[in-house]
Amino acid sequence: MSFFDDFKKEGMEKGRRKTLINTIVIQAPQLFAIEDTESLEAKLKDADIENLEEIRDNLLNYESKADIYDQL
């Protein structure tokens, strides 16, 4: 793999991570009346992509914001 391919893959991963975080930060407050989205976003930034995808995929199945934090 060339330097360009590594750089491209890293950029795509960062974009994917940002999209997942933005999706969760937009939807979760509407579902669970989360007022402190900055704290949620900070915690999400520490999660890996697989975990973020799991949260996104299960967001409508969660009963409270605690379910999100339990996944982190």
Domain boundaries, the chain: 17-71
Q: What is the pTM of this model?
A: 0.86
- For 13, the token pair is 């991963």
Q: Measured between alpha carbons, how far is residue 48 from residues 9, 32, 60 in Å?
A: 15, 23, 20
> pLDDT tens track of the chain, all 72 residues?
687 788 788 889 999 999 999 999 999 999 998 989 999 999 999 999 999 999 999 999 999 999 999 999
Q: Please tell me the predicted confidence (pLDDT) of residue 2.
A: 82
Q: Please tell me the predicted confidence (pLDDT) of residue 16.
A: 95
Q: Please tell me the predicted confidence (pLDDT) of residue 8.
A: 84
Question: Do 2 and 34 meet the contact criterion of CB atoms below 8 Å apart?
Answer: no
